[in-house]
Each structure stands twice: as C-alpha cells, then as structure tokens.
Copies of this chain bind each other. A is one copy, B any other.
C-alpha cells in the first residue's frame, strides 16, 4: 500500500479528526490546514483545526472563523494530522494534542522533517505543503472547489514569494488548476503581500531618509534606532524587508541594515552577485546564507557601521 493509500484509509476510518500546524504559522501553514479541512468536510468528516495564535492577516481565507484556539482537555480525537511542521517541537501547544491522538499523519515539504507520524507524506521537492495537499486530495478523490483553492493557492504563493523562487513546473501546473475554480488571485496576492500598516510604512520612510551609498555606490547603508520604533509605535517584525530597499538600488552589491535593540545593534546584510555575506556574519558569530546573513554588534552606531563596512571592503578586495 502506498503512503497516499494509507492516508486515505486512515482518514476513511477516523470518526473525529484534528488538524494542527507549527507555531508562528505562515500562509502555507494556515492555507494547508484550512484547505485540507474544507476537503475533509466535503467528504463529511468531523474535522477541527487547532491554531492557538494566528495573525489576523489570514482572515481572508474561508474557514478562518472555524479555527479553534482552544481544545477542551477531555476532548479526544481518533486522528491528528500535522501539516507543514518538520517536528513535534514546532507544533507548540499542538504537540500534546498530536501525542494524545490514537493515530497520526504527517504531511509536509521540509527536507528536515523527522517523520514523527504513524504515516508520513513528506515530499521535499514541493515548494509548499499546500502543493502536497493537492496531491493528497487528488489521491483521495476529492475535487478541489473554490474554498479549498483559495486556501491552497495562498500557501503556494507564500512559500514561493509570489512565484518568485522555489518554483517547480508542477507549482505552475497546480496554480493553473486552482485558478480554474474561479478564485480571485489578485485579492489573495494583495492580502498576503501588499497590506501593511502606517507604522510599518513610516519606519520604512525613516530608513530611506537615512539611506546612503558608500564605496562608489557598491554599499548601501541605513539604520533604525530604538527611538524610531517608539515614535512610530512599531510592532515586532515591522523592520522586515527594509534591507531590500538598499539591495535593489542599481550598482549596489551589499546592503547593510542596522537595527538598535536594547543598546546593541542587529545587523542584516544582503548581497546581489558576488559577496558572500555569510562569511562576514560568521566572523561575528552570526549566521545565514551567501546572499542574506545577520549578526549582532555590541557597540555604538558609528563603530558598528565602520566595523561592517571595513569587513565588506576587505571582501571586495578578495574578489
């Protein structure tokens, strides 16, 4: 029996099902849980979705209001399905529910998945768990309707940055299939990528105001202070993406973004073509990839800037 057949059999015999996902759920986590929930409801399964903390930005997905933020202690489920989580740990509060269920299924696309379910369908080639959900639904003979498609498309869009990276030919093939159900892809795109807040926009404006080009335009540098964050009443994560504004300027190879936090500075680096910023981060006990890395510097703004710039300059020399 194939894994997909085993999943079908397990779901067929389950009387009550609960779907869980990882903490800090993103669009793929929410999209896959809600999309799969709609699918199971269509074949008249008694199915709940448990996500204790969820960002309001996902409220455009059908079924958002059905998400349970609490499960009574004495409630028992025949089957728990974990979606988009690579291990038990990442399930957070959902872990106890998963461990208590009589049977478990894991569906995921992370290569690091620990196959912690009784049945595991982990296709790491897929760009998103939602892409794997399409395969599972097909194997179960459940036709994807508009509700499911809206959720599943959201997950695919999230994990590919709007079909920008991490895309396989099947990603497009599946996207076309979902589109045929009549979903409004412009609306989904807007909800996932465009909606922002005044505080976030203002913080960006402040960073642009301070943005400067150095080393004949090869380095872009800007910063945000604790005072700025207080002034605009910013929330956690509002600084994300600012570093890309420097990186996107033509001629820039490395973009530096410094963010003051409790007296020290968090440094984000992005590069375009040839500087391996993970090497610079490694010098300061940080981490990352060749084109995106970060670390912390416990020094003044000017010292931090000088330190980072001189490291980048020495990388330039090596090339």
- Among residues of B, the one whose C-beta sits closest to the C-beta of A210 is B205
Given contacts A201-B211, A202-B211, A250-B195, contact A179 B169 (CB under 8 A): yes
Task: Note all chain B residues with C-beta closer than 8 A to A96.
Answer: none
State A244–B244 Cα separation when bound (angstroms). Answer: 18
Chain A contact residue count (CB 8 A cutoff): 41
Given contacts A163-B163, A169-B179, contact A205 B202 (CB under 8 A): no
Contacts of A178-195 to chain B: CB distance below 8 A: 179-180, 185-186, 189-190, 194-195
Interface residues of A (CB under 8 A from B): 162-165, 167-173, 175-177, 179-180, 185-186, 189-190, 194-198, 201-202, 204-209, 211, 213, 217, 244-245, 248-250
Known: A172-B173, A195-B248. 5 other contacts (CB 8 A): A169-B176, A198-B213, A201-B211, A202-B208, A202-B211
Q: Which of B168, B197, B206, B208 contacts A179 (CB 8 A)?
A: B168
| Chain copies in complex | 2
Whether A189 pairs with B169 at a CB distance below 8 angstroms is no
Whether A186 pairs with B173 at a CB distance below 8 angstroms is no
Main secondary structure of the interface of A (DSSP, over half): helix
The 10 closest A-B pairs by CB, nearest first: A205-B208, A172-B176, A169-B176, A172-B172, A172-B175, A165-B186, A194-B248, A164-B189, A173-B176, A205-B209
Q: Which of B173, B196, B248, B250 contacts A248 (CB 8 A)?
A: B196
